[in-house]
Amino acid sequence: MIESDVFCQALQDIGFDFFTGVPDVLLAGVIETLIERRLYTPAVREDEAVAVAAGAFMAGKVPAVLMANAGVGNSLNTLASLNLLYRQPCLLIIAWRGFDGKDAPEHLVMGRTVTQVLETVRIPHRTLSEQTAPDDFRWVAQTFMKERIPVALLLKSGVVRGIQP
Amino acid sequence: MQSRARAIQAVLDLVSDQPVIICNGFASREAFKVKDRPENFYMTGSMGMAAAIGLGVALHKPQKKVVVLDGDGNVLMGLGTMATVGALKPKNFIHVVLDNEAYGSGGNQPSYSRVVKLDQVAKAAGYVNVERVREREDLVYEFKDMLGKDGPSLLLVKITEQVEDVPWVPLPPAQIAERFRKAIT
Ligand SMILES: Cc1ncc(C[n+]2csc(CCOP(=O)(O)OP(=O)(O)O)c2C)c(N)n1
Ligand SMILES: [Mg+2]
């Protein structure tokens, strides 16, 4: 299991210096660490969060947005018509609720389809694991600025500490 | 009362190097025609998100006043952002709502701003200065005042339903963003 502060530090080392989003219980440890480090500004919706991230990027920040996969649905139009269209990169840190069909019923449809939704709008994604973490972070750093579009890192339950449902 | 284009003109004549984020629909198209400038961000999609984009800029450019030119339908769609602005209280945030009580760019259907007072919503959310104006001279007076003081501020401008004959913003979106980013650094 990756510790929350190790996870946050890895992102800070890449250059991420502004975090916003809407909580999911899987992200509670990460958000707690980000709040301690005074790096987190809460949003009320995920579309708002990705739009704030676009504004922050144009103002010189390197933004990341935390959300549950339900938030991919909430933010899809803004991702498509703002972040992708205007080439405003941000890292989407997505709690993959409903992975493998094992979760509360409301997560099952998005849990089954989230990667396909991302692929349909051409948002590159990768699923974090402890074994591949250094590689995953390197992939984030490279893809993010090269493509100048949002990229997504999916977090399953139990991969980062403090995020058991 | 004045048209949306006249109200946009009044605001753009009063700013110097301040970033201005303009909501989707005719507002962006008219702003481009009235006074294109690199510090204008023309939002063409993401309805409801102009204030959120402006907030992201304002949080990281505290030395610049950031102006959002919004529409009533846009504000209603992204209403939650009024809470975020009211809670975070960026001093440099000026929210101008061009209120024709209609989805002007969607075929002019009535919006709920006819009955829901968006200035009162802003006040309840925690905006520091809130004004409602109809006439151009009042718009000029209040906007100048807001440029000079700490916000967040909201200026509700009642406008007519008149629409200019304007094309789509002819700039590629990625170019709008890159030009804006460079202009505000
Ligand atoms: C998510 C979404 N829904 C609907 C539309 C269609 N649409 C574009 S502009 C607009 C109306 C905007 O209304 P308002 O903010 O009041 O601006 P106005 O046109 O009245 O100046 C609508 C409904 C859209 N672009 N995006
Ligand atoms: Mg309107």
pTM for the whole thing? 0.98
Q: Do A93 and A21 touch, CB atoms closer than 8 A? A: yes
CB atoms within 10 A of CB A141: 18
Helix (H, G, I), strand (E, B) or coil at A6: helix
B96-126 per-position pLDDT tens digit = 999 999 999 999 999 999 999 999 999 999 9
Is the C-beta atom of B28 inside 6 A of ligand 1?
no
> Closest chain A residue to B181 measured between Cα atoms?
A58
CATH H-level, domain A4-155: superfamily = Thiamin diphosphate (ThDP)-binding fold, Pyr/PP domains (3.40.50.970)
Is the C-beta atom of B103 inside 6 A of ligand 1?
yes
Gap from B33 CA to chain A (nearest CA, Å): 20
Is the C-beta atom of B71 inside 6 A of ligand 1?
yes
Inter-chain residue contact A47 with B49, CB threshold 8 Å:
yes
Distances (CA, A) of B8 to B11, B14, B58, B166: 5, 10, 20, 14
Question: From the candidates A78, A81, A86, which should be mutated to test the interface with B, based on the most B CB atoms within 10 A?
Answer: A86
Closest Cβ–Cβ partner in B43, B59, B83 for A41:
B59
Q: Tell me which CATH code domain B4-184 carries.
A: 3.40.50.970
What is the spatial distance between Cα A55 and Cα B53, in angstroms, rounded to a whole number? 4
What pLDDT score was predicted for residue A162? 72
A125-165 per-position pLDDT tens digit = 999 999 999 999 999 999 987 889 999 999 999 999 875 44
Domains of chain A by residue range:
4-155
> Closest chain B residue to A21 measured between Cα atoms?
B84
Intra-chain end-to-end CA distance of chain A, in Å: 15
**β-pair type (B109-110, B102-103):** antiparallel
